[in-house]
Structure 1
Amino acid sequence: MPLPRFDRLPAGRQEQILAVARRQFAEHGAQSASYNRIIEAAGFSKSAAYHYFDGRQDLLRAVLDGVLGRLLDALGPWTGASDEAQFWSRLDAGAAALASHLLNHPDDLALADAAVAHAREDGRWLGWFDALVSNGQELGVIRTDVDRELLVAATAAVVRTADAWALARAKTSPEPAGPLPEESGAQLWALLRGLWSETGPFLGGAGGSTGAR
């Protein structure tokens, strides 16, 4: 995390530094971007940089924390649904909001996978999906015959992969950035029905519907 001196900088200056770093990491890769180039673009010397960050990895962690925070803000907290229709509606809204954010924030999109991997250290990302799976199991939407930790991780991976697929398709569309087409949501729900059904892929079945979707 940033050193105390960074926190004492004006908020606008903090955001400027992190925005420059985010752009460099997004353009050149989380593990490839030059620390010296980031420092130069941010407008301070290497010696000054060590007053704010304990090296390149510390700066990268700060950037990824910011990306993750915005992804979770886009999803919003998972609020338990009272029935299956409400469950699917809330999941639909969260997935669409996340995809829309990524579509309109290319730096966050480029760093999303790195931010999610970074989040595994403190559980914030999987915590959202753990709440979702718990609620779905209570409603009988999600199977209970598979290890919970595995099911949470698989659900998170399906949603992230489906978003990446939908965004790749959206980039080739002549339409301006906006809500993703219904087809993308339908593909995600089909994948989740197969994953969550007790007759689905873990038991070798064909994958049945959980109901409303």
Structure 2
Amino acid sequence: MMVYQWYTMPLPRFLRLPKERQRDILAVARTFFARDGIAGASYNQIISDAGISKTAAYQYFDGKEDLAATVLADVRERVLGVLGTWEAAPSARAFWERLRLSSARLVDHLAKNQEDLALVGASSGGAQDEMGMAWFEAVVDDGLRLGVIRTDVDRALLLGVTRAFFQAADAWALQGMRTGTQVEMSPAWSLLEGLWAPRKGNKNGGTT
């Protein structure tokens, strides 16, 4: 549910490195960015700790911005992997259970991966953002099919509002996690149910 701009990608030579070496380099960079922030992290220190010469570094990335974009894309890919593919629910009850379970898996992942927690949501846009939107589309379409979501609102508007809701809810929950506050998600779920609730006279038969 985390909905997260990067337009740069690593240079082809980095992508030709063994996958394990790629992961090692990104892990070092992720530690620096999570601890010092993207603006505050030292590019020279990152490449030194990763065992990369300056000459090699500029054959892998155009600079710190390019490296940061690659790290953020990697974080986002893992987050989307935790959410998994949305599967059509057999009932409204199962729909809400799956939605809450997806959220719980994500919270658990971020609680156990503090570097991801520090970086998730740092930017948005690009192909990875399209992957996130595909998840929202699947959820909204399933909710519409089941009558969980009102049908008197244009689908594009529903998607936009739903996405904005999760962005706001995620920012709220993440801030709590970062400050060590126990976040109770029930008010957020109640708010979403009210936002989605079918209206009286709506053709899907819901009531307020």
TM-score, normalised relative to structure 2 = 0.80
Which of 71, 90, 102 is residue 94 of structure 1 equivalent to? 102
Which aligned pairs between 1:16-31 and structure 2 lie closer than 5 A?
16-31=24-39
Contact residue 110 and residue 116 of structure 2 kept, 8 A: yes
Which of 145, 154, 165 is residue 158 of structure 1 equivalent to? 165
Aligned to 1:141, the other structure's residue is in SS state coil
Unpaired segments ≥5 residues, structure 2:
1-8, 200-205
TM-superposed CA distance for 1:172, in Å, is 3.1
Distance in 2 separating the partners of 1:14 and 1:63: 10
- How many pairs align? 193
Aligned to 2:121, the other structure's residue is in SS state helix
Contact residue 158 and residue 191 of structure 1 kept, 8 A: no
Distance in 1 separating the partners of 2:151 and 2:176: 33
Aligned to 1:114, the other structure's residue is in SS state coil
Change in Cα spacing, 1:132 to 1:61, as seen in structure 2 (3 Å) is same
Q: What amino acid is aligned across from residue 140 of structure 1 in structure 2?
A: G
User: CA RMSD of the aligned region, Å?
Assistant: 2.6
Question: Matched residues, percent identical?
Answer: 49
1:108 corresponds in structure 2 to 116
Aligned to 2:79, the other structure's residue is in SS state helix
1:127 corresponds in structure 2 to 134
Distance in 2 separating the partners of 1:155 and 1:31: 31
TM-superposed CA distance for 1:10, in Å, is 2.6
Aligned to 2:151, the other structure's residue is in SS state coil
Change in Cα spacing, 1:140 to 1:108, as seen in structure 2 (3 Å) is same
Change in Cα spacing, 1:10 to 1:119, as seen in structure 2 (3 Å) is same
Which aligned pairs between 1:22-171 and structure 2 lie closer than 5 A?
22-115=30-123, 117-119=124-126, 122-169=129-176
Q: What amino acid is aligned across from residue 55 of structure 2 in structure 1?
A: S
* CA deviation profile, 1:149-198 (whole Å, cap 9, x unmatched): 3322332333343344345445536xxxxxx87x42x2221121122125
User: Which is bigger in relative contact order (C-alpha 8 A, separation at least 6)?
Assistant: 2
Unpaired segments ≥5 residues, structure 1:
174-179, 200-208
